[in-house]
Chain A
Amino acid sequence: MALINQKKWEDGHTLTCKFLDGDDFQKGKVKEKADIWLDHANLKIEFVNDGDAEIRISFQADAGSWSAIGNDCLVSSYFPTYQPTMNFGWLRDDTDDREYERVVVHEFGHALGCIHEFQSPTENLDWNTDAVYASFPAHQTTGARLISTRTFCRSIHRMGSARPSST
């Protein structure tokens, strides 16, 4: 697991969270699964209904599931204060519990400062680079060929959609 030091929260920090949309079922599931990290870290989460919040959660910003990395959510040029810092694009009332857990724990991992394993400086995934390039549309790989394969592989957010292919 890799965590970006500059994006960490102060130890003991209370993260304020607010839902920008979503129904009671969705909100309840996210609260339950976010707590899985908090059982092990010296951080707290406080869900607020009004006012400012550091982590602003939507279920309908777009089709993806994503989050700001750690305290990046405070940078208003990245995340204007009226916009979400975390989105769950496919978690719905009929989504099963295991999928809620997988996605919410992953996104809250980002909110605590964790990056993807394949972006870690110590990752040792042995990419088949030709296959990786081939998985992108041609116009996206023309420029990428000019940079190092490893850098390119670490920047492949788009290819690694967190959405499972089977559900």
Chain B
Amino acid sequence: MNSIMLYQFDGSLFKDGKGTPLNTQLSDQHKTMIAQMYPKTP
């Protein structure tokens, strides 16, 4: 999951063993979502 709001978790904590990635940037999806939460043109 590409999300700046997700911690990097080790794969051993999940059934699929994959873990979560180190996300370092705001994704395009999040830019769109925050724009919906705080719309510039209501």
User: Which A residues fall within an 8 A CB radius of B?
Assistant: 1-3, 8-9, 11-12, 36-37, 39-43, 98-99, 101-102, 105-106, 109, 112-118, 125-128, 131-132, 135, 160-162, 164-165
Contacts and interface: CB of A to CB of B under 8 A. Distances in A.
B34 A117 contact: no
B14 A1 contact: no
Contacts of A41: 34-35, 37-38, 40
Contacts, number: 92
Given A1-B30, A41-B38, A101 B24 contact: yes
Interface of B: 1, 3-9, 12-16, 20, 22-26, 29-35, 37-40, 42
B25 A160 contact: no
Q: Per DSSP, are chain A's interface residues mostly helix, strand or loop, or mixed?
A: loop
A41 B40 CA distance: 7
Nearest to B23: A102
B39 A11 contact: yes
Given A2-B5, A105-B26, A117-B3, 7 more contacts: A1-B34, A8-B38, A9-B38, A105-B4, A109-B4, A109-B5, A117-B1
Contact of B31 (A40, A116, A131): A40
Nearest to A8: B37
A102 B12 contact: no
Contact of A116 (B6, B34, B40): B6
Query: For A1, A9, A162, which residue has the most chain B Cβ atoms within 10 angstroms?
Result: A1
B22 A164 contact: yes
A42 B34 CA distance: 9
A70 to B, nearest CB: 10
Contacts of B24: 98-99, 101-102
